[in-house]
Amino acid sequence: MRKIKTILVLILLINAVTNLQAQKTVKEYLESRNEAYIKIKYNSENDIEIIKNIVYLDNYKSKEKANEIYAYINQNQYNDLLKTNFEFEVQTPPSMVKAVDMCVDNNAVENWNCYPTYDQYVYLMNKFAADYPEICSLHEIGNSVENRKVLALKISDNVELHEEEPAFFYTSTMHGDEVVGYILMLRLTSYLLSNYETDDRIKELINKNEIWINPLANPDGTYASGNSTVNDATRTNANSFDLNRNFPDPVDGEYPNGTRQPETQDMMSFMQTNKFSLSANFHGGAEVVNYPWDTWSKRHADDLWYQNISAQYADTVHDNSSGYMTGFVDGITNGNDWYWINGGRQDYVNYYLHSRETTIELSQTKMPAASELNNYWNYNYRSFLNYIAALNTGVKGKTTDIDGNPIKAKVYIQTDSDSSEVYSEAENGMFYRLLNPGNYNFIFKTSGYLQKEFTDIYVYSGNQTELNVQFDQIGNDPDPDPDTNPEYSNKLVSFQNPFIENIQFEIELAEDAEIQISIYNISGKKVLETDSKLYFSGPNSFTINTQSLFSGFYVCIFKSVNFSFKLKLVKV
């Protein structure tokens, strides 16, 4: 018995020393790069639930390698982790495992066998627009925390116009140390532009669509060690925020993980303006096509469509590689089946923007040797093109009044749920609904006009069905549509009542609105007020912290220029 006790004490001492050593190393990483990479031991699913609310979960392995979570942490998360009893080990950050080759000059970049400096990247983006001005233009999405430019290129046959064409978006490297997509998006841009005049398929893709490409969404993370190298890149931005945990979330509201970062807000505004019908967001650390949802376990209304477009991408990769992207379910996975995240961009796009987006993980190694980049290009470039071509399937059409003027309308089928419906554009009346082959019944609604219904609209494989809709009777609609008319659109969908510490609300808007929220006690005294904030059309979920309020009855008022809500609430 004494021996057993001695052994147990030794084990406890070893664990304590190991954790102290890890803590020291974590501190060193946090001091030098504001971020550390760790491995955490867990024992149960409940442990995962606790850990994932503390750290930036990167991956966890319960099948291949028992009970290990890999995660990034900043200083605040490290402080929270120390309050728990979880054992953790510091890991070498992925961008520091092995130094990669940087391009020696501007000319070397387009050999695609080295990583560009930040200045070379900016030079190349400008060069694309200068060399192909008729089909390519350069745009600034915004500036990073450290004032680097977040850039995007638009590629289209009439590049200065917003035509009656669907908009497509490829974006990469919002995690700064996941750089394969960064290089491949630069190479895809070059491929599209240089082959426009000679390749009929490329010409068709560019002539029929507005293609936008943002190769680098987090320049501060990628160039955390300075503009001359991607070595020692960080996952997070310069404020140590994971940008893929920073978007409004269907479950956790407007600010799921703290302050919204400038890169996030700029990206939200950019996507709201351009109304992309289809997009993909490139990451690294695995090899898989990840489709919605991430934040909850229920399936997207178009789950089968998502499985098909994801499988098409992976299957094309399999035809052009060996042993690549073969894990999960033949290279695809539902996000929540893999692991839960909140504040992800994919769910924001699908829920708040009524669009379609997947997250594509391109490489197990986040920062592979530059000599391997050509392999990843050969594995993926055909899938890149096929994914863009999927934009020209399903159903498209135009919604107008009897005089042919465009109208914004809600376009949906009976199986739609969780914001899977789409909307036609107010500027030109065009809508695009991506669907699997089959028969569908469509419903069109817009306030002030009678509802239109169409049955047995057939969608053919690989083709696009056209369905133009004219709202031919104007009058007092007995059932005005709250999604297309501001007078009726601003409605409170749900709220938590009675409440304890926080109140959760959901408001649906059909147009952007500046809203201020005030709470009054039963004596009419204002006891809490939020800053006036711009909310965007569609569902808006958010949380008000009411820890400062005593138990009792309150009145909450939502106020905007055009409308207001008044609610009676009880704190228990």
Residues identified as active-site: 361
Which helix (H) or strand (E) is 51 found in, with range?
A: helix 45-52
Q: How many CB atoms lie within 10 A of CB 303?
A: 15
Q: How far apart are CA 390 and CA 385, in angstroms?
A: 9
Q: How far apart are CA 139 and CA 153, in angstroms?
A: 6
Q: Which of 77, 96, 213, 62 is nearest to 151 (CA)?
A: 213
Q: How far apart are CA 69 and CA 55, in angstroms?
A: 10
Q: How far apart are CA 503 and CA 546, in angstroms?
A: 7
Q: How far apart are CA 274 and CA 213, in angstroms?
A: 12
Relative to beta strand 210-214, strand 564-571 is unpaired
Q: Which of 333, 289, 293 is nearest to 314 (CA)?
A: 289
Enumerate residues 6+ apart whose C-beta is below 8 A from 101: 113, 114, 115, 369, 370, 371
The 8-class DSSP code of residue 409 comes to: -
Q: How far apart are CA 447 and CA 474, in angstroms?
A: 9
Residues 545/267/483/452 CA torsion (nearest 10 deg): -150
Q: How far apart are CA 359 and CA 290, in angstroms?
A: 5
**Residue 255: alpha-carbon gap to chain centroid:** 14
For helices 345-352 and 262-274, what crossing angle results, to 10°?
Answer: 40
Enumerate residues 6+ apart whose C-beta is below 8 A from 344: 244, 245, 247, 249, 294, 295, 335, 359
SS3 call for 181: helix
Alpha helices for 255-344 (secondary structure H): 262-274, 303-319, 335-338
The answer to whether the peptide bond before residue 498 is cis (omega within 30 degrees of 0) is yes
Q: Which of 156, 124, 118 is nearest to 137 (CA)?
A: 156
Name the CA radius of gyration of the chain, rounded. Answer: 25
The 8-class DSSP code of residue 101 comes to: P
SS3 call for 291: strand
